[in-house]
Chains A and B, each alone.
Chain A
Amino acid sequence: MTTLQYREAIREALAEELTRDPNVVVMGEEVAQFHGAYKVTEGLLDRFGPKRIVDTPISEAGFIGLGIGASMLGIRPVIELMFWSFYSVAFDQILNNAANMRYMSGGQIHCPIVIRGPANGGTSVGATHSLTPENVLASHPGVKVVVPATPYDAKGLLKSAIRDNDPVMFLENTILYGDKGEIPEDDYLIPLGKADTKRAGTDLTIVTYGRPALLSLSAAGVLEQEHGVSAEVVDLRSIRPLDIDAVLASVRKTHRVLIVEEQRPFCGVGAQLAYMIQREAFDELDAPISRLSTVDAPAIYSPPVEAEQLPNPQRILRAALEVVA
């Protein structure tokens, strides 16, 4: 095993896939000479050269659309969005073109493209830079949506995403880029659509993904030590495809559910999960399904208040205690 930061794990995944497949191209704003706005792609230009590591102008609709077109002819672009928030100016390319291309052509075309970058709040960058669009993306059949929480997951999932023949939206997190974790020395893949139970428990299931999975683990520790509550933490890792079986298996064990998401509640991922859990496991539930989301407003700038707008261990703890009360 070796210890890598989350950003380094992503970089390793990129480097390994660039080495393995000559059709993989990394493209985006500042990814080459600048080494990446968050240094994810640092050093890749030196290793792979300007044909494989491509700086783009600030032109998301242009270069994402270009990547989709190139993917139709056998290139496998991995496109960095400096922030996923900027997907808004490329919405038509991603969700009309990439998502629908296979369908509208009656299955004649597929678009093996990955679009990756951070999608999170919590860094005081205001409403326009703090979007978490996994629910919006996942509501479009044709695309896949992945949200890794740890360096290990990020590397294994990104390698699978690059090899995937469908368009994959890969949502990272600026707060996690410096987090360290253990990574196997050997080549490994993590399949999309496989949840990971990051903590076993018996009293409560916390269903979550992305950074809130780590926050939930922290809250689960306090629940155990200070309240004698044993919480199981199920990290979805992938929103679409969705490992609902892992969620239901946990619910059948604990009979109580808290969903934690860095999403506004209305039409969020948690709403879909709650529907599916009650539909499939109604008789297993000893309490209403509960949900902790981002407080329903645009992302506030004020740093201490934003910390309270998002899920945090204290908010998760309070919500968990209500579910087990």
Chain B
Amino acid sequence: MTKKTSATTDNPAETGTATQGHAGAPVNARLTAADKVGLYRKMLMIRRFEERSLRAYQAKKIGGFLHLYIGQEAVAVGCCSLMGKDDHVITAYRDHGHAIAVGMEMNPLMAELYGKATGCSKGKGGSMHFFDPSRNFWGGHGIVGGQVPLGTGLAYALKYRGLKGACMTFMGDGAVNQGAVHEAYNLAALWDLPVIFVVENNGYSMGTSQARSSAGELGQRAASYGMAWGVCDGHDLYGVRAFMAEYLDMAREKSRPSVVEVRTYRYRGHSVADPDNTYRSKAEVEDYRRTKDPIQVFQRALLAEGVLDEAAVERIDAEVRAEADLAADFAEASPFPGVADIQKDVYWEADNPGQRSSGGLLFFN
């Protein structure tokens, strides 16, 4: 793990560079064995869910886009495992990992991919638009960078209401060049909002490498707004937690925003429509998978700690695979929304006719 300096005195203190040191960080030292197994299981749930969804896509059960998170699991699980009751999350279209990380179950997620009425968004959102406000998860957004002002607004609401929470606003490395992102950075810094802009840098904005799309250091752009910033590796769950805990604390306790760049990697193409044969080598993917796979790294750590043994590893994997298969069965067996559902969930007033105060036509058929 590496860490950059900050432009402000609020920047959390240096926490060292050795990966193995993070297990002892306070935020990790207090984890029970059961907690650790839970974190491991969650990462595995993301992977097996997505592998199963890919097979469903190939079987033409899923339409549109499918942006897989495989390879990045430690980022969402590490960050979201730190959430308190007033902490919130919003992300972009590669959102399956965050949804599972905040605690959403596989059934409504898989059903959403299948376009079924039992989906988390009733089949109206699809892969890019998972939501669960009851778990402080605000999507799931399709336009690159478009969710970043929204996350800043969630943080604004927290501060306005006097709540000691933070909003982790995730984006990919491709989003950092969007104007809306910079407008949000400025507002967050200007108004001291408790937002952490988490740049999940997987190296490629679709098929364009960071070197070909972004000038300078991604995180360092925060410095010109007077925001704290830092960089960490995203393959080590303990490291992500240790790193993010400090920025979350700064947001909650001091209402100070920050930009954190988490270096990660995706094994699959930008979406399943990307054959992934034009912009990077197979060797590059294999090298990361062999040395930095987040699930393997954490599994090795837990085996070394004696928290897991080989039998437990096999058992958990079997359970999670079965859960993903059952989710696919659930999705398959669920009904599609009806044509009459097309015009539901458009207007609050139309969905709550007993409380409607306006007159006139809301829909034009």
Contacts from A to B (Cβ < 8 Å): 25, 51, 56-57, 59, 61-75, 92-93, 96-97, 101-110, 141-142, 144, 160, 163-166, 189, 191-195, 238, 240-245, 272, 276
B133 in contact with A108 (CB, 8 Å) = yes
Selecting from B180-188, B254-262, B324-332, the interface stretch reads: B180-188
Do B122 and A106 touch across chains, with their CB atoms under 8 A apart? yes
Cβ contact within 8 Å between B359 and A243: yes
Instruction: Identify whether the interface residues of A are mostly helix, strand, loop, or mixed.
Output: mixed
Q: Is B151 positioned at the interface, with any CB of A under 8 Å from its CB?
A: yes
Query: Chain B CB within 10 Å — which of A62, A63, A103 has the most?
Result: A62
List residues of chain A with CB within 8 A of the CB of B147. 97
Residues of A within 8 A of B158 (CB): 73
Residue B357 at the A interface, CB < 8 A? yes
Knowing A68-B153, A70-B157, A164-B357 are in contact, say whether A106-B180 is a contact too (CB < 8 A).
no
CB of A293, distance to nearest CB on chain B (Å): 20
Query: Which residues of chain A have C-beta atoms less than 8 A from B179's C-beta?
Result: 61
Q: Tell me whether B121 and A105 are in contact (CB under 8 A).
A: yes
Minimal Cβ-Cβ distance residue in B for A243: B360
Knowing A62-B186, A65-B180, A96-B143, the reply to whether A160 touches B358 (Cβ < 8 A) is yes
Residues of A within 8 A of B119 (CB): 106
CA–CA, A63 and B187, complex, Å: 8
In the complex, what residues of A have CB within 8 A of residue B146's CB? 65, 92-93, 96-97
B45 to chain A, nearest CB (A): 22
Residue of B nearest to A275 (CB): B364
A-B contact pairs, 29 of them (CB 8 A): A51-B160, A65-B183, A69-B138, A69-B152, A72-B138, A72-B154, A75-B157, A93-B146, A93-B149, A96-B143, A102-B347, A103-B125, A104-B121, A106-B122, A108-B121, A108-B133, A109-B133, A141-B363, A142-B347, A164-B357, A165-B352, A191-B357, A191-B358, A192-B359, A238-B360, A242-B361, A243-B359, A243-B360, A272-B364
B345 and A70: CB pair below 8 A? no
CA A152 – CA B122 in complex, angstroms?
Answer: 41
- Distance from B99 Cβ to chain A, minimum over Cβ atoms (Å): 12
Chain B residues engaging chain A, CB cutoff 8 angstroms:
88, 90, 119-125, 129, 131-134, 138-143, 146-158, 160-161, 179-180, 183-184, 186-187, 190, 343-349, 351-352, 357-364
Contact B362–A70 (Cβ < 8 Å): no
* Assembly CA distance A69 to B156 (angstroms): 8
Residue with the highest number of chain A CB atoms closer than 10 Å, among B148, B347, B357: B347
B149 touches A68 (CB 8 A): yes
Contact of B190 among A57, A70, A191 (CB under 8 A): A57
Shortest Cβ distance from residue A207 to the other chain B in the assembled complex, whole angstroms: 14
CA separation between A198 and B360, bound complex, in Å? Answer: 18
Contact: A107 with B359, CB < 8 Å? no
Question: Chain B's nearest CB lies how many Å from the CB of A68?
Answer: 6
Partner of B153, one of A67, A241, A242, A244: A67
Question: Which of B123, B138, B358, B364 contacts A144, CB < 8 Å?
Answer: B358
- Give Cα A244 to B343, complex, Å: 19
The residue on B at minimum CB distance from A25 is: B160
> Chain A CB within 10 Å — which of B140, B150, B155, B357 has the most?
B150
A105-B131, A160-B357 known; A74-B161 Cβ under 8 A:
yes
Instruction: Across the interface, name the chain B residue whose C-beta is closest to A54.
Output: B191
Residue of B nearest to A61 (CB): B180
9 nearest CB pairs, A to B: A69-B153, A65-B149, A62-B183, A193-B360, A241-B360, A107-B345, A73-B157, A106-B122, A69-B150
A61 to B359, CA, bound (A): 31
Min C-beta distance of A223 to chain B, whole Å: 27
Beta-carbon contact of B131 and A164 below 8 Å: no
A12 and B154 alpha carbons, distance in the complex (Å): 28
Q: Are B160 and A105 in contact (CB under 8 A)?
A: no
| Residue in A closest to B180 when the chains form the complex, CB atoms | A61
Instruction: Write out the residue numbers on chain B whose beta carbons fall within 8 Å of the beta carbon of A103.
Output: 124-125, 345-346
Separation of A26 and B346 alpha carbons in the complex (Å): 25
